[in-house]
Amino acid sequence: MYSLSEENYLKAIYHLSNNGEESVNTNAIAEEMKTAPASVSDMIRKLSKKKLVNYQKYRGVTISSKGKYIALNVIRKHRLWEVFLVEKLSFKWDEVHEVAEQLEHIQSNQLIERLDEHLGFPKFDPHGDPIPNANGEIAPIPTTTLSMLKPGDKCRVICAKDSSSDLLVYLDKIKISLGARLEVTDFHAFDGSFSLEVEGANPITISSKVTENIIVEEL
């Protein structure tokens, strides 16, 4: 139906536009896709012709509802495959992204609906991100990051914002997993780092770069 490249562009635009809310500029897409800005212009024109994005030259792009539907379908497949890899094939949460990037492009509704069923209709992927349903509807992602909390605040970890292997391996190392309960014990203004109590583990201090990438629910 749509090429691998088209699907990847739509997914990138969806993510960069804050889930379809905002307009995205060419350079941002180029950086996300690790491609030249000129290539982005070409592809945008193509997607625009197919009504998958709204586009005016030099004015950035917004994703159309048709484009959003396709993007969410690819994201659905990506996240369901991630659940499969972790739950059924014992992959670690930091090992699944690359393979899921390939599996997300397999075309078969029957396959994905049966996979969903086989996995028990999961609502979240191994990083805590919500899985869109077959109609392209997705639960809102909470926006509170650990970095927004103050000393004394308690929270529960909801999801990792960045699914890069580096972050996930680090979180494993310091025993912060999804659902973990944390308490902020101190904030260090000098570099923005936080000291935390982690339920069932040793107290730790982590950088602002990390706290900005942990989505939490305040308790």
Partner DNA sequence: TATTTTTTTTAGACAAATCTAAAACTTATA
Partner DNA sequence: TATAAGTTTTAGATTTGTCTAAAAAAAATA
Q: Point out which residues bind a second copy (CB under 8 A).
A: 85, 88-91, 95, 98-99, 102-103, 106-108, 110-111, 114-115, 118
Q: Which amino acid is at 190?
A: F
When the beta carbons of 108 and 205 are compared against a second copy, the nearer one is 108
CB atoms within 10 A of CB 146: 23
Pick from DNA, a second copy, none: which does 106 bind, CB < 5 to 8 A by kind?
a second copy
CB 178 to a second copy: min, Å: 22
* Selected range binding DNA among 29-37, 93-101, 153-161, 208-216, rule: CB under 7 A: 29-37
When the beta carbons of 74 and 103 are compared against a second copy, the nearer one is 103
- Between CA 176 and CA 182 the distance in angstroms is 9
When the beta carbons of 57 and 173 are compared against DNA, the nearer one is 57
Question: Left if phi > 0, otherwise alpha if psi is -120 to 50, otherwise beta: which for 150?
Answer: beta
Question: Left if phi > 0, otherwise alpha if psi is -120 to 50, otherwise beta: which for 200?
Answer: left
Residues 36-95 interacting with DNA (rule: CB under 7 A)? 36-46, 55, 57-60
CB atoms within 10 A of CB 58: 7
CB 74 to DNA: min, Å: 14
Pick from a second copy, DNA, none: which does 5 bind, CB < 5 to 8 A by kind?
DNA
Decide if residue 27 touches DNA (CB under 7 A): yes
Residues 6 or more apart whose CB falls under 8 angstroms from that of 177 comprise: 157, 171
Do residues 100 and 112 make contact, with C-beta atoms less than 8 angstroms apart? no
